[in-house]
Amino acid sequence: MSGLLALLDDVVALAKIAATTLDDAAAQAGKAGAKAAGIVIDDAAVTPRYVTGLAAQRELPIIGRIALGSLKNKLLILLPAALILATFAPWAITPILMVGGLYLAFEGYEKLHHIIVPSAVEKTVADVQEGTPEAASLENERVAGAIRTDFILSAEIMAIALNTITPPDGPQPALITQGTVLAVVGLMMTLIVYGAVALIVKADDVGVWLAKRGGPLSAPLGRSLVKGMPPFLQILSVVGMIAMLWVGGGILIHSLAIYGFAAPEHVIHDASEAVRSAMPVASGFFAWLTGTLAAAVVGVVAGAITAVIVGLVKPMFGAKAAH
Protein backbone atom coordinates (compact mmCIF):
# COMPACT_ATOMS: atom_id res chain seq x y z
CA MET A 1 0.00 0.00 0.00
CA SER A 2 2.83 2.40 0.86
CA GLY A 3 4.42 1.64 -2.52
CA LEU A 4 1.16 2.54 -4.28
CA LEU A 5 0.89 5.81 -2.33
CA ALA A 6 4.49 6.65 -3.20
CA LEU A 7 3.74 5.95 -6.85
CA LEU A 8 0.66 8.22 -6.67
CA ASP A 9 2.79 10.94 -5.06
CA ASP A 10 5.27 10.63 -7.93
CA VAL A 11 2.44 10.84 -10.49
CA VAL A 12 1.04 13.97 -8.80
CA ALA A 13 4.50 15.55 -8.69
CA LEU A 14 5.03 14.78 -12.39
CA ALA A 15 1.59 16.20 -13.20
CA LYS A 16 2.45 19.40 -11.35
CA ILE A 17 5.76 19.68 -13.22
CA ALA A 18 3.96 19.06 -16.53
CA ALA A 19 1.29 21.67 -15.71
CA THR A 20 3.97 24.19 -14.75
CA THR A 21 5.86 23.43 -17.96
CA LEU A 22 2.72 23.86 -20.07
CA ASP A 23 1.80 27.12 -18.32
CA ASP A 24 5.34 28.43 -18.80
CA ALA A 25 5.36 27.28 -22.42
CA ALA A 26 2.03 28.99 -23.12
CA ALA A 27 3.21 32.26 -21.60
CA GLN A 28 6.53 32.11 -23.45
CA ALA A 29 4.79 31.19 -26.72
CA GLY A 30 2.50 34.23 -26.44
CA LYS A 31 5.47 36.49 -25.76
CA ALA A 32 7.52 35.05 -28.62
CA GLY A 33 4.55 35.19 -31.00
CA ALA A 34 4.01 38.86 -30.25
CA LYS A 35 7.65 39.65 -31.07
CA ALA A 36 7.35 37.79 -34.38
CA ALA A 37 4.14 39.63 -35.35
CA GLY A 38 5.88 41.77 -37.96
CA ILE A 39 7.10 38.72 -39.84
CA VAL A 40 3.65 37.13 -39.59
CA ILE A 41 2.14 40.25 -41.21
CA ASP A 42 4.73 40.02 -43.94
CA ASP A 43 4.15 36.29 -44.47
CA ALA A 44 0.38 36.83 -44.77
CA ALA A 45 0.98 39.71 -47.17
CA VAL A 46 3.53 37.87 -49.34
CA THR A 47 1.81 34.48 -49.78
CA PRO A 48 -1.31 35.56 -51.78
CA ARG A 49 0.88 36.58 -54.73
CA TYR A 50 1.84 32.92 -55.22
CA VAL A 51 -1.83 32.06 -55.77
CA THR A 52 -2.80 35.09 -57.88
CA GLY A 53 -3.44 34.16 -61.49
CA LEU A 54 -3.95 30.45 -60.82
CA ALA A 55 -7.21 28.57 -61.39
CA ALA A 56 -9.83 29.54 -58.77
CA GLN A 57 -10.67 25.93 -57.87
CA ARG A 58 -6.99 25.26 -57.18
CA GLU A 59 -6.49 28.20 -54.77
CA LEU A 60 -7.39 26.46 -51.50
CA PRO A 61 -5.56 23.20 -52.37
CA ILE A 62 -2.46 25.25 -53.25
CA ILE A 63 -2.68 27.17 -49.96
CA GLY A 64 -3.02 23.80 -48.20
CA ARG A 65 0.13 22.51 -49.92
CA ILE A 66 2.07 25.64 -48.94
CA ALA A 67 0.79 25.46 -45.33
CA LEU A 68 1.85 21.79 -45.09
CA GLY A 69 5.28 22.72 -46.45
CA SER A 70 5.46 25.52 -43.89
CA LEU A 71 4.70 23.13 -41.03
CA LYS A 72 7.38 20.73 -42.27
CA ASN A 73 9.84 23.63 -42.43
CA LYS A 74 9.09 24.66 -38.86
CA LEU A 75 8.59 21.34 -37.05
CA LEU A 76 10.85 18.89 -38.90
CA ILE A 77 13.80 21.12 -39.84
CA LEU A 78 13.88 24.42 -37.96
CA LEU A 79 12.70 23.25 -34.52
CA PRO A 80 15.39 20.53 -34.12
CA ALA A 81 18.00 22.92 -35.54
CA ALA A 82 16.96 25.62 -33.06
CA LEU A 83 17.21 23.23 -30.10
CA ILE A 84 20.66 22.06 -31.22
CA LEU A 85 21.77 25.70 -31.50
CA ALA A 86 20.36 26.57 -28.09
CA THR A 87 22.16 23.60 -26.52
CA PHE A 88 25.54 23.64 -28.27
CA ALA A 89 25.96 27.04 -29.94
CA PRO A 90 23.75 29.72 -28.36
CA TRP A 91 26.26 32.34 -29.56
CA ALA A 92 25.14 31.60 -33.14
CA ILE A 93 21.53 32.76 -32.61
CA THR A 94 22.28 36.49 -32.93
CA PRO A 95 24.34 36.13 -36.15
CA ILE A 96 21.56 34.02 -37.64
CA LEU A 97 19.05 36.70 -36.66
CA MET A 98 21.24 39.31 -38.36
CA VAL A 99 21.44 37.28 -41.57
CA GLY A 100 17.66 36.91 -41.49
CA GLY A 101 17.29 40.64 -40.82
CA LEU A 102 19.48 41.41 -43.85
CA TYR A 103 17.38 39.05 -45.96
CA LEU A 104 14.15 40.73 -44.89
CA ALA A 105 15.65 44.18 -45.52
CA PHE A 106 16.86 43.04 -48.96
CA GLU A 107 13.46 41.59 -49.88
CA GLY A 108 11.70 44.74 -48.65
CA TYR A 109 14.07 46.95 -50.63
CA GLU A 110 13.52 44.83 -53.76
CA LYS A 111 9.76 45.28 -53.41
CA LEU A 112 10.22 49.02 -52.95
CA HIS A 113 12.43 49.12 -56.04
CA HIS A 114 9.82 47.20 -58.07
CA ILE A 115 7.16 49.72 -57.03
CA ILE A 116 9.36 52.58 -58.24
CA VAL A 117 10.60 50.69 -61.32
CA PRO A 118 7.89 48.15 -62.30
CA SER A 119 9.08 44.86 -63.77
CA ALA A 120 7.48 42.55 -66.33
CA VAL A 121 4.22 40.79 -65.37
CA GLU A 122 4.60 37.15 -64.32
CA LYS A 123 3.16 34.39 -66.44
CA THR A 124 -0.14 33.03 -65.05
CA VAL A 125 -2.51 30.17 -65.75
CA ALA A 126 -4.47 32.59 -67.93
CA ASP A 127 -1.54 32.40 -70.37
CA VAL A 128 -1.61 28.59 -70.57
CA GLN A 129 -4.35 26.01 -71.01
CA GLU A 130 -5.86 24.90 -67.70
CA GLY A 131 -5.32 21.23 -66.84
CA THR A 132 -2.25 20.86 -69.07
CA PRO A 133 1.21 19.76 -67.89
CA GLU A 134 2.36 23.37 -68.34
CA ALA A 135 -0.33 24.60 -65.95
CA ALA A 136 0.58 21.89 -63.41
CA SER A 137 4.26 22.80 -63.77
CA LEU A 138 3.45 26.47 -63.16
CA GLU A 139 1.47 25.54 -60.03
CA ASN A 140 4.29 23.35 -58.71
CA GLU A 141 6.76 26.14 -59.38
CA ARG A 142 4.63 28.63 -57.45
CA VAL A 143 4.22 26.22 -54.50
CA ALA A 144 7.96 25.49 -54.38
CA GLY A 145 8.75 29.22 -54.50
CA ALA A 146 6.28 29.95 -51.70
CA ILE A 147 7.73 27.19 -49.50
CA ARG A 148 11.27 28.48 -50.10
CA THR A 149 10.23 32.00 -49.08
CA ASP A 150 8.33 30.58 -46.11
CA PHE A 151 11.47 28.74 -44.98
CA ILE A 152 13.36 32.02 -44.58
CA LEU A 153 10.48 33.74 -42.81
CA SER A 154 9.84 30.67 -40.63
CA ALA A 155 13.53 30.51 -39.71
CA GLU A 156 13.34 34.12 -38.61
CA ILE A 157 10.16 33.46 -36.59
CA MET A 158 11.77 30.47 -34.84
CA ALA A 159 15.01 32.39 -34.20
CA ILE A 160 13.09 35.31 -32.69
CA ALA A 161 11.07 32.88 -30.55
CA LEU A 162 14.23 31.09 -29.41
CA ASN A 163 15.97 34.39 -28.66
CA THR A 164 12.93 35.49 -26.63
CA ILE A 165 12.78 32.39 -24.45
CA THR A 166 16.56 31.98 -24.03
CA PRO A 167 17.87 35.49 -23.23
CA PRO A 168 21.68 35.56 -22.90
CA ASP A 169 21.51 37.34 -19.54
CA GLY A 170 18.48 35.55 -18.09
CA PRO A 171 17.41 32.12 -16.79
CA GLN A 172 17.32 29.35 -19.39
CA PRO A 173 14.15 27.24 -19.54
CA ALA A 174 14.30 23.45 -19.73
CA LEU A 175 14.86 21.90 -23.16
CA ILE A 176 11.36 20.41 -23.17
CA THR A 177 9.90 23.88 -22.50
CA GLN A 178 11.94 25.35 -25.35
CA GLY A 179 10.76 22.61 -27.72
CA THR A 180 7.13 23.02 -26.64
CA VAL A 181 7.25 26.79 -27.08
CA LEU A 182 8.81 26.54 -30.54
CA ALA A 183 6.26 23.90 -31.60
CA VAL A 184 3.34 26.01 -30.32
CA VAL A 185 4.69 29.16 -31.99
CA GLY A 186 5.27 27.29 -35.26
CA LEU A 187 1.79 25.75 -35.30
CA MET A 188 0.08 28.96 -34.16
CA MET A 189 1.83 31.15 -36.73
CA THR A 190 1.12 28.70 -39.56
CA LEU A 191 -2.59 28.56 -38.71
CA ILE A 192 -2.83 32.35 -38.43
CA VAL A 193 -0.91 33.09 -41.62
CA TYR A 194 -2.50 30.54 -43.93
CA GLY A 195 -5.97 30.91 -42.41
CA ALA A 196 -5.71 34.64 -43.18
CA VAL A 197 -4.35 33.91 -46.66
CA ALA A 198 -7.27 31.56 -47.41
CA LEU A 199 -9.77 34.22 -46.30
CA ILE A 200 -8.05 36.90 -48.38
CA VAL A 201 -7.78 34.77 -51.51
CA LYS A 202 -11.41 33.56 -51.42
CA ALA A 203 -12.97 36.88 -50.38
CA ASP A 204 -13.73 37.85 -53.99
CA ASP A 205 -15.49 34.49 -54.58
CA VAL A 206 -17.60 35.11 -51.47
CA GLY A 207 -18.36 38.57 -52.89
CA VAL A 208 -19.55 37.08 -56.20
CA TRP A 209 -21.77 34.59 -54.34
CA LEU A 210 -23.31 37.36 -52.22
CA ALA A 211 -23.88 39.57 -55.26
CA LYS A 212 -25.63 36.74 -57.14
CA ARG A 213 -27.73 35.90 -54.10
CA GLY A 214 -29.22 39.37 -54.16
CA GLY A 215 -30.90 41.16 -51.29
CA PRO A 216 -30.70 44.72 -49.96
CA LEU A 217 -27.64 43.96 -47.82
CA SER A 218 -25.87 40.96 -49.33
CA ALA A 219 -25.77 42.25 -52.93
CA PRO A 220 -24.07 45.62 -52.14
CA LEU A 221 -21.72 43.85 -49.70
CA GLY A 222 -20.82 41.30 -52.36
CA ARG A 223 -20.12 43.97 -54.98
CA SER A 224 -18.03 45.90 -52.45
CA LEU A 225 -15.95 42.80 -51.74
CA VAL A 226 -15.37 42.13 -55.45
CA LYS A 227 -14.40 45.73 -56.15
CA GLY A 228 -12.46 46.18 -52.93
CA MET A 229 -10.20 43.11 -53.03
CA PRO A 230 -7.76 44.27 -55.78
CA PRO A 231 -6.91 47.56 -53.99
CA PHE A 232 -6.87 45.72 -50.65
CA LEU A 233 -4.30 43.25 -52.01
CA GLN A 234 -2.20 46.17 -53.24
CA ILE A 235 -2.37 47.80 -49.81
CA LEU A 236 -1.53 44.47 -48.18
CA SER A 237 1.51 44.13 -50.42
CA VAL A 238 2.72 47.58 -49.32
CA VAL A 239 2.07 46.67 -45.67
CA GLY A 240 4.11 43.50 -46.16
CA MET A 241 6.95 45.49 -47.70
CA ILE A 242 6.96 47.95 -44.78
CA ALA A 243 6.83 45.05 -42.32
CA MET A 244 9.88 43.47 -43.97
CA LEU A 245 11.86 46.72 -43.76
CA TRP A 246 10.68 47.47 -40.21
CA VAL A 247 11.36 43.99 -38.83
CA GLY A 248 14.64 43.58 -40.73
CA GLY A 249 15.89 46.99 -39.62
CA GLY A 250 14.77 46.40 -36.03
CA ILE A 251 16.60 43.07 -35.85
CA LEU A 252 19.80 44.64 -37.16
CA ILE A 253 19.59 47.58 -34.74
CA HIS A 254 19.05 45.32 -31.71
CA SER A 255 21.75 42.85 -32.83
CA LEU A 256 24.29 45.65 -33.23
CA ALA A 257 23.48 46.77 -29.68
CA ILE A 258 24.19 43.23 -28.42
CA TYR A 259 27.64 43.44 -30.01
CA GLY A 260 28.37 46.78 -28.34
CA PHE A 261 27.31 49.22 -31.07
CA ALA A 262 24.27 50.61 -29.27
CA ALA A 263 24.28 54.18 -30.66
CA PRO A 264 21.52 53.61 -33.29
CA GLU A 265 19.24 51.94 -30.73
CA HIS A 266 19.80 54.77 -28.22
CA VAL A 267 19.15 57.49 -30.84
CA ILE A 268 15.90 55.85 -31.95
CA HIS A 269 14.80 55.32 -28.35
CA ASP A 270 15.52 58.97 -27.49
CA ALA A 271 13.62 60.16 -30.59
CA SER A 272 10.63 57.98 -29.69
CA GLU A 273 10.61 59.31 -26.12
CA ALA A 274 10.83 62.90 -27.39
CA VAL A 275 7.80 62.28 -29.61
CA ARG A 276 5.98 60.64 -26.69
CA SER A 277 6.56 63.74 -24.54
CA ALA A 278 5.53 66.15 -27.30
CA MET A 279 2.24 64.45 -28.21
CA PRO A 280 -0.81 65.47 -26.14
CA VAL A 281 -2.86 62.46 -27.32
CA ALA A 282 -2.00 58.93 -28.48
CA SER A 283 1.57 59.50 -27.35
CA GLY A 284 2.29 55.77 -27.13
CA PHE A 285 1.20 55.18 -30.71
CA PHE A 286 3.28 58.03 -32.11
CA ALA A 287 6.32 56.94 -30.09
CA TRP A 288 5.91 53.42 -31.52
CA LEU A 289 5.43 54.84 -35.03
CA THR A 290 8.63 56.89 -34.72
CA GLY A 291 10.64 53.82 -33.74
CA THR A 292 9.02 51.74 -36.47
CA LEU A 293 9.72 54.29 -39.21
CA ALA A 294 13.32 54.69 -38.02
CA ALA A 295 13.78 50.90 -38.13
CA ALA A 296 12.24 50.84 -41.62
CA VAL A 297 14.71 53.51 -42.80
CA VAL A 298 17.58 51.39 -41.45
CA GLY A 299 16.01 48.46 -43.30
CA VAL A 300 15.95 50.41 -46.58
CA VAL A 301 19.63 51.37 -46.20
CA ALA A 302 20.68 47.83 -45.25
CA GLY A 303 18.56 46.37 -48.06
CA ALA A 304 20.04 48.76 -50.64
CA ILE A 305 23.61 47.89 -49.58
CA THR A 306 22.77 44.18 -49.70
CA ALA A 307 21.21 44.59 -53.15
CA VAL A 308 24.40 46.27 -54.44
CA ILE A 309 26.54 43.45 -53.01
CA VAL A 310 24.23 40.79 -54.48
CA GLY A 311 24.34 42.59 -57.84
CA LEU A 312 28.15 42.53 -57.79
CA VAL A 313 28.52 38.93 -56.60
CA LYS A 314 25.76 37.27 -58.64
CA PRO A 315 27.50 37.61 -62.05
CA MET A 316 30.63 35.97 -60.60
CA PHE A 317 28.70 32.84 -59.65
CA GLY A 318 26.96 32.94 -63.01
CA ALA A 319 30.30 33.05 -64.78
CA LYS A 320 31.59 30.08 -62.76
CA ALA A 321 28.44 28.12 -63.52
CA ALA A 322 28.89 28.82 -67.23
CA HIS A 323 32.40 27.28 -67.10
Under 8 Å between Cβ of 243 and 112: no
Residues 6+ apart with CB under 8 A from 205: 56
Q: Is residue 5 part of a domain?
A: no
Query: What is the count of structural domains for the chain?
Result: 1
Confidence of residue 221 (pLDDT cuts 50, 70, 90): confident
Angstrom distance (rounded) from CA 252 to CA 166: 19
Neighbour-count burial for 97-128, b at 16+ CB within 10 Å, e otherwise? bbbbbbbbbbbbbbbbeeeeeeeeeeeebeee
Q: Is residue 16 part of a domain?
A: no
> Which amino acid type is present at position 199?
L
What pLDDT is attached to residue 9?
43
Q: Note if the pTM is more than 0.75.
A: no
Confidence of residue 220 (pLDDT cuts 50, 70, 90): confident
Angstrom distance (rounded) from CA 293 to CA 301: 12
Q: Is residue 10 part of a domain?
A: no
Q: Is residue 3 part of a domain?
A: no
Whether residue 195 has pLDDT greater than 50 = yes
Q: Residue range 151-180: average pLDDT?
A: 76
Residue 114 DSSP label: H
What residues make up the domain containing 153?
21-322
Q: Is residue 2 part of a domain?
A: no
Tens-digit pLDDT profile for residues 85-101: 888 888 888 888 888 88
What pLDDT is attached to residue 19?
38
Q: Is residue 124 part of a domain?
A: yes
Q: Which of 308, 288, 294, 303 is nearest to 253 (CA)?
A: 294
Q: Is residue 14 part of a domain?
A: no
